[in-house]
Amino acid sequence: MSNFINDAKWRYATKKFDATKKVSAEDFETLKEAIQLSASSYGLQPYKVFIIENPEIRAKIQPVAWGQTQIVDASHLLVFANITNFGEAEIDASIKNMAETRGIPVESVQGYADFMKSKITTLPVETRNTWTAKQTYLALGNLLNAAAELKIDVTPMEGFEPAAVNEILGFEKLGLNASLIATVGYRHEEDATQHYAKVRKSKEELFINL
């Protein structure tokens, strides 16, 4: 656990990446697995994660991400996209995957499927979209922690125009919405913010015992 705390103290929101340094394929596969293993509500993982490798696409995203240089300089660019209008089809697909993975008949978990549908599909679309967007933050947390252990920098970003990113990536026709962006790579030695003291609330202010 002491390693986890030290890693958390080490990481920060990198403002300037070293464009000459690339994350190895092996390490990036580890980060992908960390995202894949993330917790999610009902285990449904109601999102997709796009790995944007094409430099032309990254260049198009940069202006609608407040011009931040991390978009083009980082080794990897990830866009977390939540599924919009999440419903019965996605739940059925998840149940099918569960049955196949565990080697059980679909009928044995049909009650669970019906329960999820009763709780999810009855919600207004806007509420469901907010719910699926929130799930991407859980996946981001796993990415941040796994990357810190590997001493790989990640900058989580909400500073972008979702509608514009959706248009660039054609998300609307895919039933998706850009929820989060994460840039992955290695801090530049010229990034002065890496030397700043980490500012957080004190434990006395943050935690409340009842």
Write down the domain spans for the chain: 47-85+125-188
Which pLDDT band, with edges at 50, 70 and 90, does 68 fall under? very high
- Nearest alpha-carbon partner for 82 in 132, 156, 141, 39: 132
What pLDDT does residue 2 have? 82
The sign of the CA dihedral 14, 50, 165, 57 is positive
pLDDT of residue 48: 98
| pLDDT value of position 109 | 97
Q: Round to whole Å and give the CA distance between 69 and 8.
A: 24
The mean per-residue pLDDT over the stretch 26-45 comes to: 98
Q: Bridge-partner residues for 184, per DSSP?
A: 76, 154
Specify the pLDDT at position 108: 98
pLDDT tens-place string over residues 85-135: 999 999 999 999 999 999 999 999 999 999 999 999 999 999 999 999 999
For the sheet containing 47-52, what is the strand order? 47-52, 76-83, 176-185, 153-157
Q: What is the CATH number of domain 47-85+125-188?
A: 3.40.109.10
pTM: 0.96
Is residue 72 very low, low, confident or very high in pLDDT (cuts 50, 70, 90)? Answer: very high
pLDDT of residue 185: 98
50, HSE (Cβ side, Cα atoms, 13 Å) = 23
The H-assigned helical ranges of the chain are: 2-10, 25-36, 55-61, 70-73, 88-102, 110-120, 125-149, 162-169, 203-206
Cα-based distances in Å from 194 to 8, 11, 16:
13, 8, 10
Which pLDDT score is estimated for 1?
75
131-163 residue pLDDT tens: 999 999 999 999 999 999 999 999 999 999 999
